[in-house]
Structure 1
Amino acid sequence: MPTSPSDTYDLAVVGAGAAGLAGAVTAAAAGLTVALLDSAAHTGGQYFRHPAPALGAARPQALHHDWPAYASLRERLAASSVAHLPGHHVWTVTRQAEDRWTVLALTGTDGEADEPVTVRARAVLLATGAYERQLPFPGWTLPGVVGAGGVQAMLKSGLVLPGRRIVVAGSGPLLLAVASSLATAGATVPAVVEAAGYLGYARHPRALAANPRKLREAVIHGSALLRHRVPLHTRSVVTQVHGTDRVEAVTVARADRTWRPVPGTGRRIACDALATGHGLVPQIELATALGCATRRTPDGTTALVLDDLQRTSLPGLWAAGEPGGIGGWELARTEGELAGLAVAARLGGRPLLTGGTRLRALRRDRARLRAFAEAMATAHAPGTGWTQWLGDDTDVCRCEEVTAGRVREAARDLGAHDARTVKLLTRAGMGWCQGRMCGQAVACLAAEGTAEGTVPPSAERRPLAVPVPLGALGSVPTDPAGPAEPAERPTTERPTAP
């Protein structure tokens, strides 16, 4: 096991959610030295968030249907030789050769520390998860408007609620899970507002039949909503949030199949908080900075192109879980284990690992789960009409206070029909979040009136995945073996079959 920063691990895993945990313990069990870096203080990622021991939660598993699976991974990690490095915010990964990688991180709760950390490895596995996609609407900057995933994180890790009367709105299966969790925790949920619908799943009968567990999950959440008398409104959207100092009510309107609000159907629902989200976006900045190939997913996000062993287009770099496309914790765990076996086969000179029965079973599971994930993405893909929610005075980029009107002006008068050009002209996307919150909205507004109608945010190369102090940049070590090989610009390919 490496004992100093100058030593080299066989594998560095970035992210300690289901994918990262499975990959790390699998590779370690196969005899590799492994470093597991994660920004959080505890393992589990976003899905398996849980309260800190200091909160004294008697049953931290109460908000998880799949806690035993996570508990098993956590026990395997504790019994393994994996070097778990919590509180490590990875801001870039550099490549000196196929088998020589450097992972640069900042330590601390908020990524602040006296000394940056450097981890060297022969291979890297990216299990960085995803972040929420937010589509703006009038009033979304009011206190009390919280991301749906953020509400779930507050409940799971802090045992707190953002309000007492909470509307849940947006699109995607996460809404049902959030609403049922809130209702079970004692909140009043006056409505779940789903912009799409669930009939779209019926177009994929084979994917549904192959994944009965997903149906059981839907039944569990649906039963909880029925038990707590929570109404579900499909083909409906929140078009405005009302309030002065915080949320007081929302306007909900029917929507057509393009998500365009139907005139005259709006009605006001009183609430003191709104949990909103329109699906998830793969977190792939570390990979695109290196030049990895990407693909467009059915719901308009950008994911990495991966082969049947979870390899990216860059030799020596693997990815598992949401970076390859949103699919949930079970798919992430499957891909993490598959990647761990593949890395062990490659670095340990054990080709039989990639031809054994376990790997074949993992591939079958991945194909089955990925097929459902593609069906889910198709069913909840945002329609082109959602921009009709926005008045010209609605803030789109909250960091830089750029309105929809300014974005439309840049597109209409200055010919800016992609997110990057709009950013250069308006500063939209130049703030603290670096376009993660507003990227989709800016791209769609820029495409209004064009033949395409909508375009996904560009998979821009960000050399810094998280904010980094200048002092940390100045202390980056020089690799004695020579400079990193230049990476080609990221390419975009059509989605490939799982």
Structure 2
Amino acid sequence: MTNSAETHELYDLAVIGAGPAGLAGAAAAAERGLRVALLDSAPQPGGQFYRQPAAAFRAARPQVLHHHWAEFRRLLTRVENAEADFLADHHVWSVVRESGAWIVRSLTGPDQRQARSLTARQILFATGAHERQLPFPGWTLPGVVGAGGAQAMLKAGLVLPGRRVVVAGSGPLLLAVASSLVKAGARVPLVAEAAGYLGYARGARTLAANPGKLVEGAQHGAVLLRHGVRLGPRTAVVAAHGTDRVEAVTLARLDATWRPLPGTERRIACDAVAVGHGLVPQLELPLELGCATERLPDGSAALVVDAAQRTTVPGVWAAGESTGIGGVQLAIVEGELAGRALAGETTAPASLLRRRTRLRAFAALMAARHAPGSGWPEWLEDATEVCRCEEVTAGQVREAVTELGAADQRTVKLLTRAGMGWCQARMCGPAVARLCGAADDGAPTRPLSTPVPLGLLAESTTAPSSQGAPR
């Protein structure tokens, strides 16, 4: 493979991520005359929210696994009618500024060993999010999956993670996951919510301004009630048990800081656990370009954007979960606003601006209510693996902090290798950061956002810059 196989087609705009925000941004920009490339690592558009079964499954009614399906179909139609170029199976690993334009490098092909480059005058990041995982003893057992992962298995593979599934963690996603599982035939004995739901009462005005969120929550609640699913507020899975796979979990009640209350432990049999503690914006590419971030109430980092969705780096825009976790409706609104502004529209419709304000307020309320408590590390035994890739235990991380003086995630990484594995700290990063005493998840930069063959790097005529801001 050589660079002669690469292309350098010129676009007005490259949208990275074909989820709801990316689709809306690409459609709005292309409808206004811009030549748009929409890149995504998946074979089909839709992102994680609108993940679809492979064509080989011949699913007759994929819409039954989704909310807002009609909105998704409208977005697809807009993108197709506006003739934006959708580049599927494109894993973007580098974006750099050269000669006043952005060079977007990606890997494609069945084994991700084919190189492709394109040039764009402007960039819109709609890179979505990944799950925050807080480890517990037994979380490496087969059958323990992410909450979003369980939903992805169902949407994309039409399979269940198990027949009796405990759903646990924190955040509204848990209700959606549990609802999807029971409708598909799984038995869900409990949804364990570490944070509880009563805290939403403090945001009554925000809730009243977002009646659609209340309706959606009520719909999930009705499904769970109909299937006999119990809700366990202020409750967490503090251990999973089994030999070849998970066979049971231990649940415990939590205090306000998420510390387990002694004497409240109970054991529930299951053959799968779907666990997740919210979502974290996926920021590797924009961080490498120097885009500024802000800290959200749940401790995650999100890109700073202005009223038109511009980041702090000229020529770079962002929409959707990269600016903070807010759900599909907010992602679509932000993508629409970004696409319009990118095409030169100076005045956005007031209705869109008002809707973004309402939905962003709900997102802030949600982040504050489900922020991980400081006491969750008490779930961990010293032998509990925190970094699964490098098999680094909680005890090793604690020793690095207390005995060797590590004060941040980077130093722990150098001392223990935590975060040096295949996932590059996407799984363990939030846990390691908090074990260091940080109140946030950390937002480390990486010169490459996805694994790249060494041969490609050796043959590149321009190496990826570790200082990728415009020059």
Alignment TM-score, normalising by the size of structure 2:
0.96
Measure the CA separation in 2 of the matches of 1:271 and 1:410: 35
Deviation >2 Å, runs of 4+: 4-7, 474-479, 483-489
Of residues 347, 369, 373, the one that matches 1:355 is: 347
Measure the CA separation in 2 of the matches of 1:478 and 1:187: 51
For 1:12, the equivalent position in structure 2 comes to 14
Paired letter, 2:347: G
The answer to whether the 8 A contact 1:96-1:485 is kept is no
Pairs aligned (count)? 465
Paired letter, 1:328: G
Of residues 405, 408, 417, the one that matches 1:418 is: 408
Q: CA deviation at 1:455?
A: 2.7
Measure the CA separation in 1 of the matches of 2:310 and 2:352: 15
Measure the CA separation in 1 of the matches of 2:269 and 2:109: 40
Measure the CA separation in 2 of the matches of 1:423 and 1:484: 22
1:89 aligns with 2:91: yes
| SS in structure 1 of the partner of residue 96 of structure 2 | strand
The answer to whether the 8 A contact 1:40-1:109 is kept is no
| SS in structure 2 of the partner of residue 370 of structure 1 | helix
Q: Which deviates the most, 119-128 or 101-110? A: 101-110
Measure the CA separation in 2 of the matches of 1:484 and 1:125: 19
Measure the CA separation in 1 of the matches of 2:194 and 2:109: 39
Measure the CA separation in 2 of the matches of 1:278 and 1:17: 21
| SS in structure 2 of the partner of residue 295 of structure 1 | strand
For 1:451, the equivalent position in structure 2 comes to none
Measure the CA separation in 2 of the matches of 1:5 and 1:361: 40
For 2:440, the equivalent position in structure 1 comes to 456
The answer to whether the 8 A contact 2:253-2:265 is kept is yes
For 1:170, the equivalent position in structure 2 comes to 169
| SS in structure 2 of the partner of residue 204 of structure 1 | helix
For 1:439, the equivalent position in structure 2 comes to 429
Q: CA deviation at 1:488?
A: 6.3
For 1:320, the equivalent position in structure 2 comes to 319
| SS in structure 2 of the partner of residue 140 of structure 1 | coil
For 2:109, the equivalent position in structure 1 comes to 108
For 2:308, the equivalent position in structure 1 comes to 309
Map 1:52-131 to 2 at 5 A. 52-96=54-98, 99-109=100-110, 112-113=112-113, 115-131=114-130
Task: Structure 1: give runs of 5+ residues left out of the alignment.
Answer: 346-352, 448-453, 490-498
Q: CA deviation at 1:53?
A: 2.4
Map 1:349-428 to 2 at 5 A. 353-356=345-348, 358=349, 360-428=350-418
The answer to whether the 8 A contact 1:41-1:109 is kept is no
| SS in structure 2 of the partner of residue 250 of structure 1 | strand
Measure the CA separation in 2 of the matches of 1:146 and 1:408: 25
The answer to whether the 8 A contact 1:95-1:485 is kept is no
For 2:220, the equivalent position in structure 1 comes to 221
Q: CA deviation at 1:179?
A: 0.3
CA 35–477 in structure 1, closer or farther in 2 if over 3 Å, else same = farther
Measure the CA separation in 2 of the matches of 1:202 and 1:108: 50
| SS in structure 2 of the partner of residue 248 of structure 1 | strand
| SS in structure 2 of the partner of residue 221 of structure 1 | helix
Instruction: Write the deviation string for residues 366-412 of structure 1: whole angstroms up to 9, x where unpaired.
Output: 11100000000000000000000000000000000000000000000
Instruction: Write the deviation string for residues 116-161 of structure 1: whole angstroms up to 9, x where unpaired.
Output: 1101000000000000000000000000000000000010111100
Q: CA deviation at 1:48?
A: 0.6
| SS in structure 2 of the partner of residue 429 of structure 1 | coil
Paired letter, 2:339: G
For 1:300, the equivalent position in structure 2 comes to 299
The answer to whether the 8 A contact 1:167-1:275 is kept is yes
For 1:338, the equivalent position in structure 2 comes to 337
For 1:466, the equivalent position in structure 2 comes to 450
Measure the CA separation in 1 of the matches of 2:151 and 2:109: 23
| SS in structure 2 of the partner of residue 384 of structure 1 | coil
CA 53–6 in structure 1, closer or farther in 2 if over 3 Å, else same = closer
Measure the CA separation in 2 of the matches of 1:486 and 1:268: 51
The answer to whether the 8 A contact 2:102-2:120 is kept is yes
Q: CA deviation at 1:477?
A: 4.0
Paired letter, 1:25: A
For 2:3, the equivalent position in structure 1 comes to none
Paired letter, 1:467: P
The answer to whether the 8 A contact 1:420-1:458 is kept is no
For 2:178, the equivalent position in structure 1 comes to 179
Measure the CA separation in 1 of the matches of 2:9 and 2:249: 56
Identity of aligned residues (%): 63
Paired letter, 2:390: E
| SS in structure 1 of the partner of residue 421 of structure 2 | coil
| SS in structure 2 of the partner of residue 258 of structure 1 | coil
| SS in structure 1 of the partner of residue 375 of structure 2 | helix
Paired letter, 1:31: G
Measure the CA separation in 2 of the matches of 1:361 and 1:477: 47
Q: CA deviation at 1:484?
A: 7.4
Paired letter, 1:221: H
Instruction: Write the deviation string for residues 74-115 of structure 1: whole angstroms up to 9, x where unpaired.
Output: 111222221110000001110125x400111000355x22x3
Paired letter, 2:294: R
Measure the CA separation in 2 of the matches of 1:253 and 1:188: 21
Measure the CA separation in 2 of the matches of 1:109 and 1:441: 33
The answer to whether the 8 A contact 2:95-2:468 is kept is no
Q: CA deviation at 1:478?
A: 4.1
Measure the CA separation in 2 of the matches of 1:17 and 1:211: 22
Paired letter, 1:405: G
| SS in structure 1 of the partner of residue 37 of structure 2 | strand
Of residues 457, 460, 468, the one that matches 1:476 is: 460
Measure the CA separation in 2 of the matches of 1:195 and 1:218: 17
